[in-house]
Structure 1
Amino acid sequence: MTVQEAAPQTGAAPVTLGAVVDALGSGLMRLVVAPRGLDVPVGELVVHDPLGDPAPRPDDLLLAVGVDAARPSAIDVVTGCAARGAVGVLLKDDGELPASLVAAAEAHGIALLIAPRDAAWGQLHTLLRTARSVSAPRGVGSQAAPLGDLFGLADALASAVGGAVSIEDERSAVLAYSTGPHPTDDARRAAILGRRVPQEWLDRLQDMGVFRHLVSSDEVVHVPPLDALAYAPRLVIGVRAGGEALGSIWVQEGDRPFGPDADKALREAASLAALHLLRARSGEDLERRRSGDQLRAVLEARLPANLLAESLQVRADAPVVVLGVELVEADDPESGVLADRVADFLVFSCAAFRRRVVASAVGRTAYAVLPGRAGGTAEARQLADDLAARVSAGLRVEVRAAVVDEVAGLVRLPDLRAEVDLALRVLRSRGTGGCVHVDDVRPASVLLQLADLAVERPGLLSGKVRLLEDSDRKRSTTYVPTLRAFLDCFGDVRAAADAVGVHPNTFRYRLRRLSELADLDLDDSEQRLVAQLQLHLLAP
């Protein structure tokens, strides 16, 4: 059984400035001015170097790294680009560009483009480089699949090559698929229903070397049928940008064998898909970073919680679930960095569950906020268990996690974070990992809060239990364990005597002596309650 790789083909038309603007999208980049129009070609991408070369050549686009648009030096960059025949300059700024800079660009025929300050230059460079290398594919029909519509691209490609199409990310999760009348085998049906390629198929394809071809080549791979698994022949190509694997496109053979132009159409579709995926990824990265910063500010009570309603697409009073995850080895010097990775992993894992989420790391804890569902607490428990297990397995670290669900919505988010933090403290005090709902450990959480209060107000621990503790320390009596056993056994003398390993009569004698020494009336419910609380706080 072999995997055949199709012969390479080359040749791509240059992209215009208008195509670049469309590829990046309004969410990532905004065109401020284009004095020569949008049909001018874009040549190479050049990164600004204030100390010298490289300098832009005719039609090049300059990425103005390190240039402050508000400073006069930005005008010098624009005029320098004009002198060399460059097509435009991409700057980063969150506001309106100075009128003097815009006027200089118009006067010198230089297009000005602007991206948000928190957009990574690496992302912008990769996306621009991919856009510049793509020509409009004639066989796929780019007009039928505007950027951002992966399902439209899948349908257009299926029509062009005559087979059912699936587009997957780099982890073999199904992102989109064609919906035409083409035959569908069991493998494709299972992948679509589960939104991920089943492990059985992944193992076989891995053994055949398919994925090795995808990560090392830009060419089409012909996958033969696997009769034993009802797996029809396929064409597959990796979707790549700047050497980075973004995903893959799979085409199942239909009623007739693939035509002679199928490989070419698939190569063209891969170039377009790279733009789709890069644009989506860049936009998602920006949105994830912004929403994460917003969540951090809300958790730290610097912003109102209802600001998260838009990111979660819920009303401010809609039910929410709050999850906190921390490393068991919290003393690891890299635990703060790992918390950021945990937050990112929570976002990706929730995407696999098709759950909207906002996540961020605060200190050494990663928090995730999700819209609640009808399943309530039971569903929140299951979700938290699954996410904690995924984080632990995916990052190969031991974690502890706590979750709470709230019907009152985002308005209580700071309080919910406090409840999650207390639950994590309980697990930490026990030296254990695992995942709990805050209700599972609420009694222990209450005692922790009372212990915190007792540290601030030591007088809460003074009184009759202290007298018994002093007697045990000075005279080697056993009054404190005797009283604790009596209260823990709800006044059952025989059970309490068994708990401390003495005869019931001996236990009664000790109980009478400690009552006389501390003037403790064990028939008084208030005295019993205070004594039991103090015992827990002194020696939890």
Structure 2
Amino acid sequence: MKLSEVVRGLGPRVDFVTGTALLDSDVNGICAEGRPHRADQAVLVVQEPATGEAAVAELQQYCADAGITAVLMKDPARYSLAAPRTGTPTARATIVVIHEHVPWSDVFDCLSDFFGAAADSVALPDHGAAFGAITAAADELGAAMQGSVIIEDNNFDILAYSRATGDLDDARRVAILQRRLPETFQRAFNAQGVLAQLAGGQEILHVDAVPEIGLGPRLVAGVRFDGELLGSIWLARDAHPFTRRDDETLRAAAARLGPLVRRIQRTRDDQLEARNQSLLGLLRENAPAVAGVAFATIAGLPPQLPLHVLTFTAPSKPEPAIDSVAALRTAIETLGRSGSTRAFSVLADGALAVLLTGCPASHGQCGDAHPSRFASRVLTELGEPGRHVVAGVGGHRAALSSAWESARDSRRAAATLSAHRTGRRVASLREVWSHVALDECLPLLSAPLERFGDALDLLVESDASGRSEYVNTLAASLENWGETRRAADILHIHPNTLRYRLAQLTDLAGIDLDDPTQRLVLQLQLRLRRQMRTSSSSDGDRV
């Protein structure tokens, strides 16, 4: 591939080019920040260039030594470069200046289109190499700074940690064992505003000790790539206080780690997207058996294992019940890491579907207690935002190939919990079967029920005029037939008032409430109207 093709491909991202004599040169790959993947005609991406003409000469010499054909950079003024559109020839490298407003991530994506996996693995080293480099960096930092180093991503998941250099405080010990910082320590750091300050652009933070929870002092540096906060480096050291030199050392290390953490993040994002698509296929109605094999391969699970599928949803309201599904997914992920339990979640049709493994009961003996407890704990973890969320629990299945059946059951249960005031927030299909059966039968009966709905129409028309409350009165009476006082309590009226209204509405509509057949039809008509009203006022349930 010619360098001229790469420049044309970058298109409007390019401000100007110098050294056009080499545009016809072949380019075989790219590298980032002066670390070429191959010493043979690569494109060097310089994200934080030095300044001045001397730096240009040094860079050109480096390109000659490393076999670099072209250099991509921003802010040419720092290199004392002019901007002639025709360019200035140079014998060592072509310099391609990228517009300042263009993110490097966009440049990398464009280059990846040219060089495929090779380009991506060089600009951002491959996943395995990135993990190895981060682990080595943690050890080097720990030794150089005479302390213990942990490198985390933004979810408090540990990417690497250094070898122990002395006693470990409780926070480091537990974090290493769990590969994740426990919530107790997360809250302590949040109370000091650590993440907020890092997200706000602070590069280095000195974090105070919290002795009551076994947390020593920390020096923290934010790890960024193209201005985006991706993670952090944490240094713990009891021997002597942190110094300004420590600040500079950790700041420089964070700058070097940015591309490595982004590579890991990209790989994780790609893996998560592949897993989500596979999970969607697995939970789709009548999913083929091969979908179970595909998901098992991606998720690292055996095809045969006990599982349940849960559906979390919230009845639509004028304002969202949850600001973001992120809080729900975080709670699910956190609770889905204990023992043999694993939880995989994906958004599907406005609800959050969760594949939950680790049910301890056999298929014939499972009463859905395990997934119901899990769902209840998730809603409790959410606190106030989860107050309106409900969870449908699918039945026990013994293999991934039949997960779609559990998913179907969980969706039906969740829809019923959303549509009716059952007093439950978590329920399996067997616990709300009567509501589900009626809801699914009503559409089949809608035509005849509407055809003979004149009596109910008269009551609705009277209520619309503001002269009565006949429909609610009839519904409460039918749903609590034989319990006049209970129906009156629901309506907050006296039992005698209820009796009077019933006499009035039966006379108006010409119905006989002593006839069990009429009572059944009227209940079905009332339920159908309620169902139609709910569906017309909402596009469906949404998390």
Confirm or deny a common fold (TM above 0.5): yes
Distance across 1 between alignment mates of 2:286 and 2:353? 16
Q: 1:221 offset after TM fit, Å?
A: 4.2
Distance across 1 between alignment mates of 2:219 and 2:489? 74
Whether the 8 Å CA contact 1:164–1:254 is kept in 2: the answer is: no
Query: Which residue number in structure 1 is paired with residue 391 of structure 2?
Result: 402
Tell me the SS of whatever aligns to 1:328: coil
Distance 1:446 1:147, change over 3 A: same
Tell me the SS of whatever aligns to 1:235: strand
Whether the 8 Å CA contact 2:390–2:418 is kept in 1: the answer is: no
Whether the 8 Å CA contact 1:62–1:89 is kept in 2: the answer is: no
Tell me the SS of whatever aligns to 1:366: strand
Residue type of the partner of 2:417? L
Is 1:383 the counterpart of 2:374 in the alignment?
A: yes
Query: Which residue number in structure 2 is paired with residue 90 of structure 1?
Result: 111
Q: 1:383 offset after TM fit, Å?
A: 3.0
Distance across 2 between alignment mates of 1:314 and 1:520? 59
Q: 1:351 offset after TM fit, Å?
A: 3.7
Q: 1:390 offset after TM fit, Å?
A: 6.1
Instruction: Provide the TM-score with structure 1 as the length reference.
Output: 0.56
Residue type of the partner of 1:241? F
Tell me the SS of whatever aligns to 1:367: strand
Whether the 8 Å CA contact 1:167–1:249 is kept in 2: the answer is: yes
| Pairing of 1:365-444 with structure 2 (within 5 A) | 365-374=351-360, 377-388=368-379, 399-408=388-397, 409-430=399-420, 435-439=425-429, 440-444=431-435
Is 1:188 the counterpart of 2:158 in the alignment?
A: no
Distance 1:295 1:146, change over 3 A: closer
Distance across 2 between alignment mates of 1:153 and 1:312? 29
Query: Which residue number in structure 2 is paired with residue 240 of structure 1?
Result: 224
Deviates more, 1:283-292 or 1:431-440: 431-440
Distance 1:398 1:176, change over 3 A: farther
Distance 1:89 1:434, change over 3 A: same
1:15 to 19, 35, 48: 35
Whether the 8 Å CA contact 1:168–1:248 is kept in 2: the answer is: yes
Is 1:212 the counterpart of 2:197 in the alignment?
A: yes
Residue type of the partner of 1:427? L
Residue type of the partner of 1:401? V
Q: 1:284 offset after TM fit, Å?
A: 1.7
Tell me the SS of whatever aligns to 1:212: helix
Query: Which residue number in structure 2 is paired with residue 163 of structure 1?
Result: 147
Residue type of the partner of 1:360? V
Whether the 8 Å CA contact 2:309–2:395 is kept in 1: the answer is: yes
Query: Which residue number in structure 2 is paired with residue 202 of structure 1?
Result: 189
Residue type of the partner of 2:313? V
| Pairing of 1:112-511 with structure 2 (within 5 A) | 113-115=115-117, 146-149=129-132, 153-172=137-156, 174-178=158-162, 180=164, 182-189=166-173, 195-196=182-183, 198=185, 201-203=188-190, 205-206=192-193, 212=197, 215-218=200-203, 220-223=204-207, 231-255=215-239, 266-267=250-251, 269-301=253-285, 304=288, 305-306=291-292, 307-318=294-305, 319-326=307-314, 328-329=316-317, 342=325, 346-353=328-335, 355=337, 356-374=342-360, 377-388=368-379, 399-408=388-397, 409-430=399-420, 435-439=425-429, 440-455=431-446, 458=447, 501=495
> Can you list the C-alpha shifts for 1:373-405, whole angstroms capped at 9, x where unaligned?
338733423433444566687xx6975332324
Query: Which residue number in structure 1 is paired with residue 540 of structure 2?
Result: none
Query: Which residue number in structure 2 is paired with residue 104 of structure 1?
Result: none
Distance 1:432 1:39, change over 3 A: farther
Distance across 2 between alignment mates of 1:223 and 1:350? 29
Distance across 2 between alignment mates of 1:434 and 1:146? 50
Whether the 8 Å CA contact 1:426–1:441 is kept in 2: the answer is: yes
List gaps (5 residues or longer) in structure 2. Answer: 1-31, 43-62, 75-84, 98-108, 461-469, 501-510, 531-543
Tell me the SS of whatever aligns to 1:147: helix
Distance across 1 between alignment mates of 2:220 and 2:66? 33
Q: 1:253 offset after TM fit, Å?
A: 0.7
Whether the 8 Å CA contact 1:309–1:410 is kept in 2: the answer is: yes
> Can you list the C-alpha shifts for 1:60-111, whole angstroms capped at 9, x where unaligned?
7999xxxxxxxxxxxxxxxxxxxxxxxx98343xxxxxxxxxxxxxxxxxxx
Q: 1:237 offset after TM fit, Å?
A: 1.4
Query: Which residue number in structure 2 is paired with residue 28 of structure 1?
Result: none
Q: 1:249 offset after TM fit, Å?
A: 1.1
Identity of aligned residues (%): 21
C-alpha RMSD over aligned residues: 6.0
Q: 1:450 offset after TM fit, Å?
A: 1.9
Distance 1:324 1:46, change over 3 A: farther
> Can you list the C-alpha shifts for 1:40-78, whole angstroms capped at 9, x where unaligned?
45864489xxxx999999767999xxxxxxxxxxxxxxx
Distance across 1 between alignment mates of 2:206 and 2:489? 75
Tell me the SS of whatever aligns to 1:419: helix
Distance across 2 between alignment mates of 1:196 and 1:60? 51
Whether the 8 Å CA contact 2:346–2:353 is kept in 1: the answer is: yes
Distance across 1 between alignment mates of 2:198 and 2:478? 72
Residue type of the partner of 1:147? A
Q: 1:244 offset after TM fit, Å?
A: 0.9
Distance 1:497 1:384, change over 3 A: closer
Residue type of the partner of 2:116? I
Q: 1:315 offset after TM fit, Å?
A: 3.4
